[in-house]
Amino acid sequence: MLDARMTGEVRRRAALRRDLLPMPAIVIADRPAWRKCARPVDNRCEDSRMRGQATVLHLDLDAFFAAVEQRDKPSLRGKAVVVGGVGPRGVVATASYEARRHGVRSAMPMSEARSRCPQAAFLSPRFEAYRRSSEVLMTRLRQLSPLVEPLSLDEAYVDLEHLTDVAGGDIRDVGRLAGDLRADITRLTGGLTASVGVGTSKLVAKIASDLAKPDGCVTVAPGTEQELIRPMGVGVIPGVGPATAERLRRIGVHTVAELEAVPPRELVQLLGAAVGQTLARLARADDDRPVVPERETKSVSVEDTFETDLVDAALLTAVVDRMSARVAERLSRERLSGRTVTLKVRRHDFGTHTRSVTLAGPTDDSRVIARLARGLLRDVDASDGIRLLGVGVSGLADWIQDDLFQEVEELPVLVDDRSERRDEQRRHGRWWPGSDLWHTEHGAGWVWGAGSGRVTVRFETATTPAGPVRTFAADDPALSAAPPAGPIASQS
């Protein structure tokens, strides 16, 4: 968790500047004023290939899923919105800032979110709409630099080192560039906002963008990185989740400064060679990871076609476990990890379906992959036989962000993307809250709620005022599932 005093000061400055300036504020963290201390000692390794200028940019769209829903649904603007699994075991994928004020956060059980903020609109994800906005974002980033490393639909690193606009190393030039970028993204996406951090490394840029949230920019001047991160909690370092933080707490380590003071050999003894050595470097802001624009391997998967169709659930589960182990082995061998686990199923009639779930951070743990794949398998009707089964991992990264010591069952699944959901709605008259539909008389709308054979629809789109609400029979032939009707739909 970020140090509350630092976060509060950055946000206070950003709020003050937003009150004074017509454009979104740019906060430049050059010798942070909130911490009066001696010039920091640079403890980074002598052979480190750290950059001398702030040329790594990290951009993250603010409350992305919820913001898209508010953009496309005028009646929800300015109100609490929670997106995630709406079933009894669902979890929150994203909460709007209005919902966060009530304590709702990502990875929280949806049942707890409902009790904390019962007045919120609880919606299931609309991935088609999110992907369209993501495509606009990534296209704009690649216009800025050919070196763009997407981390997810709404988040990416950008390498600015080659740009003549920032070649002189003046962080004010970088700040102006970031401000123009954020304004362009808001215009191109129909109103979405982004938080941007710029620093000499991926680590510092990511921390800076967290400090900038929401809708701000923090640029960290070269030479101030250690001074910035030392007062922060150890949780700002990738890979340090609650369980690892607890292990560090037991040896008296709560902040990055305290972690920096621990000899690397002690961290290795406590956490293992790979993690211990990595944390020792990052605690000194020593991070020379490059921005990787394209990966030869975009996913790692294993699949098998069976000689005879399989119907036995136990046998199918054993196959999934074996495939998960093979996928994890390949990830480990290639030093990769991934956020999205996909199950591929081909039925007896050659119909092929995929289902996927997405974690908060990338993993290469075979236990995690197997748990998620088994969960997807439980939703598959195998009574008529399965011809082919496959397990894959995508959303790859060269950095494992989940907590090494967290229990496998505790790892949060943020998104459950069932790709055939729209077809199921057409066939069975099942409607998910928030999903797009079309009525032959009233036009485009979205599902306000459904149950007991009825579906309630609000007829509005991103380009209309807040619309009326009407209720129909769930199997009304005038209703059909529809693609998103957002402001950038025509660009896809």
CA-CA distance, 283 to 44, in Å (whole number)? 9
Lookup result for tokens 């990890």: 337
| Residue 341 parent element (H or E) | strand 337-347
Which alpha helices (H) appear in 358-475, and where do they start and end?
Answer: 366-378, 421-428
Beta-strand runs (E) in 13-55: 27-29
Residue 264: asked if its preceding bond is cis (omega within 30°), the reply is: no
Buried b (16+ CB within 10 A) or exposed e, 443-478: ebbbbbbbeeeebbbbbbbbeeeebeeeebebeeee
User: Are the C-beta atoms of residues 96 and 70 closer than 8 Å to each other?
Assistant: yes
Dihedrals phi, psi of 103, to nearest 5 degrees: 90, 5
Gyration radius from the chain CA atoms: 24
Pair of tokens at residue 277: 């050595």
Which alpha helices (H) appear in 334-432, and where do they start and end?
Answer: 366-378, 421-428
Pair of tokens at residue 352: 């092929």
All residues at 6 or more sequence positions from 430 whose CB lies less than 8 Å from its CB, including other chains: 424, 450, 474
- Strand-pairing partners, residue 455, are 450, 472
3-class state of residue 369 by DSSP: helix
**How many C-beta atoms surround the C-beta of residue 180 within 10 A?**
13
**Conformation bin of residue 350: beta by default, left when phi > 0, alpha when psi is -120 to 50:** left
Catalytic residue among 155, 225, 227, 460: 155
Pair of tokens at residue 300: 């790692």
**How many C-beta atoms surround the C-beta of residue 16 within 10 A?**
12
- 460 is a catalytic site residue: no
Pair of tokens at residue 361: 């951070």
3-class state of residue 300 by DSSP: strand
**How many C-beta atoms surround the C-beta of residue 278 within 10 A?**
21
Lookup result for tokens 């009150």: 19
The catalytic site residues sit at 155
